Amino acid sequence: MNGYKSPGWDLFGSPVCKTGGWKRRTLGAGLGESLSSPHQCMTHGQRDCGLETFLKTHELSLLEMSMRYRNLGKSGLRVSCLGLGTWVTFGSQISDEVAENLMTVAYEHGVNLFDTAEVYAAGRAERTLGKILKKKEWRRSSYVVTTKIYWGGQAETERGLSRKHIIEGLRGSLERLQLDYVDIVFANRMDPNSPMEEIVRAMTFVINQGMAMYWGTSRWSAMEIMEAYSVARQFNLIPPVCEQAEYHLFQREKVETQLPELYHKIGVGSMTWSPLACGLITGKYTDTVPEKSRASFKGYHWLKEKAISQEGKKQHSKVKELHPIADRLNCTVTQLAIAWCLRSEGVSSVLLGVSNIEQLLENLGAIQVLPHLTPQLVTEIDQILGNKPNLKKDSRA
């Protein structure tokens, strides 16, 4: 990999021991999930010898890198339980070279899900993702690309969920991605100006035309998703299979109280984003806002204000209380927070937003924490957070 250097973390995010040794861990499969090594995801010619040398040097086996896969909702599509998102990073915060390194390492660790949107960096995120995929020449059947449609341009006809913009917007995305199709096209919010039947018919059309395999929703209410499903059934159209929703330690209500019911009733799964609350859970904003952090960027004043607000300080305090639990599990709070998201019923995949290899490797280490999140530990975390929604929920630990 060009520019890839061994970081100060092992392949599962554990800091290098001061003596120079590396912590070894093993993976155990959860119920209803499969394990696969990166070698099962690519041909021999596509494997990078630099990574294999890195593994050999630190006595880490390829089996220890195993990724878990889950069905997307109740569809037959198998996605890695951790996906790579491109919001803020691709085409903006990081260089194309860094983006390529991140995608390469992610793919070689079994990540098969890459998420973007027409609005990210005004289309540059899709272009960057497309250039990398074309350069890597990975088998198109071996990975999943998702994009989101709503904000495409300045003109009235270049945004929203009209039939015109869904079709034209997706065509534009495919051109930037240099792909014949995306696996999932998401409606990036509900459009009050477009009738539900028009939206569902347009999504059905792009699927029937081979421009997408599935469609989903993002930031829709449970009622809106149910309406889309009902319209699809009424007119023999294709219903959504997935909702993209924000989900982390301090944002729980929708994913834990509303979406599980949709999962059981109509098979809609959850693909969640912002597992670290835009970095708040990592502790980077505890004392100040670091330069080049997301909260320091233009247009992210809301994040800066949230970090230094009274509510933000309360959240920082609760994160600190989670450190003893993370220490007992021999993981970081970051890994604990991501694993906590994965344990929720109906969550098919958690999207990661990273800007360097160290962050990516640490985040991937959350996979190993999941089997150790016992009901007792989850209860202990709930007691610290004090925000558990009032409902019955199942655990996937």
Catalytic residues: 120
- 107: closest CA among 20, 37, 176? 37
**What is the edge-to-edge ordering of all strands in the sheet holding 67-71?**
34-36, 67-71, 78-80
Q: What's CA 292's distance to the chain center, in Å?
A: 22
Assigned token pair, 139: 């088998």
Write the burial class of residue 385 (CB in 10 Å: 0-12 exposed, 13-18 middle, 19+ buried). Answer: middle
CB 270 within 8 A of CB 348: yes
DSSP E strand boundaries for 10-156: 34-36, 67-71, 78-80, 82-85, 113-115, 144-149
- 365: closest CA among 74, 12, 10? 12
260: left (phi over 0), alpha (psi -120 to 50) or beta: alpha
CB 214 within 8 A of CB 184: yes
CB 41 within 8 A of CB 2: no
Assigned token pair, 371: 């089997």
121: left (phi over 0), alpha (psi -120 to 50) or beta: left
Distances (CA, A) of 239 to 199, 216, 227, 235, 379: 11, 8, 10, 10, 36
Torsion over CA: 224, 228, 249, 256 (sign)? positive
